[in-house]
Amino acid sequence: MKICSHCAARLNAERTATDTGECDLCGGLLSQVDIFFDIFKEETKEIEFSNFIVGVDADERYLKNDDDYRKEHCTDCKSFKKEFSTILGRKIEELLGKEAEFGNPELVFTVKQESGDYKLWTKSCYIQGRYRKLRRGIPQSPWINPSREREMERSISEYIGLIGLKYLKGRDYTFFASGREDVDTLMLGEGRPFYVEILQPKLRKIDLDLLAEQVKKFSNGGVEILALKLAAKEDIEELKGKVFDKSYEVGVKIEGSIENIESKIKEFEGITIHQRTPTRVLGLRKDRMRDRKIHSISIKESEGGRIRLIITAEAGTYIKEFVTGDNDRTNPSLSQRLGVNVQIEYLNVLEVN
Ligand SMILES: [Zn+2]
């Protein structure tokens, strides 16, 4: 059995091999701490992190040798795998001033024993906030047709995600928002909650005011982000689980005249409407029935066959269909109750609460 000086010290054994990799217990890994320290130092010099963990993807053969040996000679002794992580970790702490963190590290460095390769991983950064959409025609997520060509302008997720990616020097991003408005609908008021996850970021600190400014510039004023913060994974999980009621402003053109329109509209307050999946999204979503509650509805303005409605409804209500009826797929609807045809001139989301 060949045992290197590092293993000899670790196992209170006698050294029987040189430290050039011929050790039967660690396969020479323990002689390579300095080499991997230099690699770590070089590879992380442009990465922002305060804590880390190092690990070893050890070779099965040596793991077994080492286990067998320890069982027989020194059950209290550390495995070579643990020894390597401990020594390398301590060195990084002492020389680079970073902290070893076992629970939720910002950076993970893994050494592959068999190939001598290594892997570097950094924890995602989450930026949470609210967005406002100030120009119609911007989709929330990239709108790609089957021939993979872009049909519309860039999406909200790209305007925010690509800027986040650039500032945090990440590898990729994912975007999540609490619900979505249609492409032709504005998102006003205090905005819609969202987060963007930057994967494998090299940087972790970000000037959020600058981020907001750049998103606005990149989208030519179409997208504004506010109430920004760097979030933890728990915040994100919480946001994902939340549903929000929403308030809308709808511009409606009425064909025909209606008496007592105010009181007829008020009758909708507090009622539950039944909505089949709208015709316009049938190809994309499953055809099913859902019940949604209209919390409040009022006329904000009325002039020459045009009314402006303010509606607050439960999360997931299809507002356009509530107004038009969508060929009776939504029941009851404004058009049906008023007994006239109506057209939607515009729709804005006012609040997401
Ligand atoms: Zn050894």
What CATH number is attached to the domain comprising 347?
3.30.70.3190
**Whether residues 139 and 180 fall in one domain:** yes
Lowest-pLDDT range of 14-23, 158-167, 177-186: 14-23
pLDDT, tens digit, for every residue of 54-72? 999 999 999 999 999 999 9
- pLDDT the model gives residue 307: 94
Q: Are 273 and 322 in contact (CB under 8 A)?
A: yes
Same domain for 252 and 298, yes or no, is: yes
Residue 179 has pLDDT above 70, yes or no: yes
Could you give the angle at which helices 156-168 and 208-218 cross, rounded to 10 degrees?
130
199 shares its domain with 265: no
Q: Are residues 327 and 270 in the same domain?
A: yes
Q: Which of 224, 241, 258 is the last residue of a domain?
A: 241
Same domain, 118 and 162: no
pTM over cut 0.95:
no
Tokens of 45: 């010099």
**Residue 155 DSSP class:** P
Separation CA 122–CA 317 (nearest Å)? 39
29 CA → ligand 1 middle, Å = 7
Give me ligand 1 centre to Cα 115, in Å: 17
pLDDT at 159 over 80: yes
Between the CA of residue 123 and those of 83, 90, 201, what are the distances in Å?
25, 21, 7
Catalytic residue among 19, 182, 235, 245: 182
**263 and 310 assigned to the same domain:** yes
End-of-domain residue from the set 173, 206, 241: 241
pLDDT at 148: 60
The answer to whether residues 233 and 145 belong to one domain is yes
For residue 26, how far is its CA from the centre of ligand 1 (angstroms)? Answer: 4
The verdict on 289 and 215 lying in the same domain is no
Q: Are residues 257 and 306 both part of a single domain?
A: yes
CATH number for the domain harbouring residue 163: 3.30.70.2510
CA of 84 to the centre of ligand 1 (A): 10
Of 217, 241, 265, which marks where a domain is finished?
Answer: 241
Domain that holds residue 96: 5-122
Distance of CA 257 to the CA centre of its chain: 48
Per-residue pLDDT band at 149 (split at 50, 70, 90): low
**Residues 237, 251 share a domain:** no
> Is 151 in a helix, a strand, or coil?
coil
207 belongs to the catalytic site: no
Q: How many of the other CB atoms lie within 10 Å of CB of 179?
A: 15
**The total number of structural domains that make up the chain:** 3
Q: Do 204 and 255 belong together in one domain?
A: no
Examine the pLDDT at 150 and tell me if it is beyond 80: no
| Ligand 1 centroid distance, CA of 200 (Å) | 34
| CATH number of the domain to which 98 belongs | 3.30.2300.10
Same-domain check for residues 289 and 337: yes
